[in-house]
Amino acid sequence: MLYKNLNIQNLAQILIFVTFLGLVGWTICDRFGRTQLQVKSREDWLLDAIGLTIQGMLIPLLQATLVYWLYNNLLPNQQGYLKLSPILSFIISFVLIDYLYYWNHRLLHSKWFWQAHQVHHTVTQMDVLGTSRNTLWTSLLIVYLWIHTLFVYLLADPAGYLVGVSLTSALDLWRHSRLLVSKNHWLYQFLFPCLILPQDHAWHHCNEVFNCNYGANLKIWDKLHGTYYESQEPPSAIGISMSLSFTQKLLFPFS
């Protein structure tokens, strides 16, 4: 069962990697996106590369080994206990876990955790490479690390759940990019009412409007809790300034 789950997880990682390569390719082909890459500082390149390495390699490795081993020892008789249909497993992953992340994200913006999370908000242009910019340890505070492995461990067939994980990760990459769907396009009319789009998430990163658009996949959570800000256009500027060294941005506040 462990090897089967690892194979499914590997397939999910491949799908995410293909999405990442596609968005990077689009950024390079887009004149404005290419200009933004050219003016990125060496420090920003390093921060983004380290973040992507942690999120794309270290976190999946931890999920497949240490965290999985932890659940195997804490819940030795529960492996494969949940026998749910792939559709229900997908809904748990894409909808219910999305709601958990909404509150997880709001917690990261609270006075207790903002000092660590603020590094992510130093991105000054929506850029797929900056999707995972964080301190080295911030990923440990994100619910995905713990909850995804738990469900992969508990589900008899985690395939549907992992499809939801892959789609969520792909949307996260897109949400941090500048690949905007024209508001006159039918796809925009179809996606805008329900999904958090790049322009929605750009407002979360801007300095003009605060405490808005915390959701990952679905807008319903922000609308339900009064934190949704609607605009069909992205803000004029995003990002915050931090007078921290490169090392401090990686280790803050432990530096």
Instruction: Name the residue ranges covered by the structural domains of the chain.
Output: 2-251
Which positions ≥6 away from 84 have C-beta within 8 Å? 92, 155, 156, 157, 160
Six-digit token string for 47: 């921060």
At 202 the three-state DSSP class reads: helix
Tens-place pLDDT, residues 44-57: 999 999 999 999 88
CA proximity to 214, closest of 138, 128, 94, 105: 105
Q: Provide the pLDDT confidence category of residue 253 given band limits of 50, 70 and 90.
A: confident
pLDDT at 101: 98
pLDDT at 6: 55
CA distance 166 to 149: 14
CA proximity to 128, closest of 17, 246, 251, 214: 17
pLDDT at 213: 96
CA distance 98 to 177: 20
Tens-place pLDDT, residues 149-201: 999 999 999 989 999 999 999 999 999 998 888 888 888 888 888 999 999 99
Phi (first) and psi of residue 214, to 5 degrees: -85, -15
Six-digit token string for 231: 């605009």
Which positions ≥6 away from 205 have C-beta within 8 Å? 121, 123, 126, 235, 238, 239
Asked whether residue 21 carries a pLDDT value surpassing 70, the answer given is: yes
At 182 the three-state DSSP class reads: coil
Residue appearing with tokens 């660590």: 116
CA proximity to 169, closest of 217, 218, 116, 233: 217
Residue appearing with tokens 């985690």: 158
Six-digit token string for 112: 């207790």
Residue appearing with tokens 């497993």: 89
